[in-house]
Amino acid sequence: MRLPEQVTRLGIVIAIIVAAVLLLRFVILPDSLFSARPHQAAAVEREMAKPLRHAGVAACRECHEEQFELKYGGKHRNIGCENCHGPSARHAADENAEKPRLPREREFCLACHGFDASRPNGFPQVDPQQHKPRKKCVACHDAHDPVPPKTPQECGGCHGRIERTKALSTHALLACSSCHTVDERHMTEPRLARPTKPDSRETCGGCHAAGSTDPAASKAVVDLASHGGTYVCWECHYAHLPEGRK
């Protein structure tokens, strides 16, 4: 059977059109035009291909397990290695390519531990002028396990500001223990066992109550029954500097 000429011609036209569409679709037009978000997909791809600079703690741990364990047992457990040692992805890929930095100067530690009033309460801070000036931090503290080699035994080791204030006050000769009871554990775990504060007026009253025979306190004698109502003395008077502002 021979096809009518019209059908053959139509077939050829259809074939040409299909070929043209396929050519347009697969050769001429770029692939990205058919993605749901054409240019965005390419931008995302570029963004994902950017090189890493920080390797991450897990990569450091693969080789430096010992240092990781030491750090994990100490106060710096939550600090990533690259916080101090700097971006080390190149070192992680090839240990000879680059040595991570090893900061040993005072200023580096002080960036976190220098006193700054805006830092949260309880964060360990030192006044760089008062705390072993000119001595390197790493001379006494191991940065991977930074508890000082010897726990301070005097109160002033940690509470230097209070000690210096008190030394200039009329209470200079009183020991800390005359008002505070300090648990042994406070020396090693300061927040778990806090020192007591006087909870009654009798503590101050021992020297400052009317009829006191203590010559040093004779200038500041009050009648406990009429002075201050129900308040404990330190709620109004700052005992470390009693002559200061009230």
Nearer to another protein, 1 or 58 (CB): 58
As measured in angstroms, the least distance from the Cβ of 133 to another protein is: 10
As measured in angstroms, the least distance from the Cβ of 54 to another protein is: 5
As measured in angstroms, the least distance from the Cβ of 206 to another protein is: 32
As measured in angstroms, the least distance from the Cβ of 76 to another protein is: 8
Question: Which of the 8 DSSP states describes residue 39?
Answer: H
As measured in angstroms, the least distance from the Cβ of 148 to another protein is: 18
Based on DSSP, count helices (H) and strands (E) in the chain, helices before strands: 10, 0
Q: HSE, CB side, 13 Å, CA atoms: give it for residue 239.
A: 19
Query: Which chain residues interact with another protein by CB under 8 A?
Result: 10, 13-14, 17-18, 21-22, 25-26, 31-32, 34-37, 39-54, 56-57, 76, 78-80, 82-83, 86-87, 107, 110-112, 114-120, 123, 127-129
Amino acid at 126: V
In sequence order, what DSSP letters do the residues of 135-154 get, joined into one string? S-HHHH-BTTB-S-SS---S
Nearer to another protein, 114 or 190 (CB): 114
SS3 of residue 47 by DSSP: helix
Nearer to another protein, 46 or 219 (CB): 46
In sequence order, what DSSP letters do the residues of 100-117 get, joined into one string? PP---SHHHHHHHHB--T
Nearer to another protein, 48 or 175 (CB): 48
- Burial (0-12, 13-18, 19+ Cβ within 10 Å), 76: buried
Nearer to another protein, 44 or 193 (CB): 44
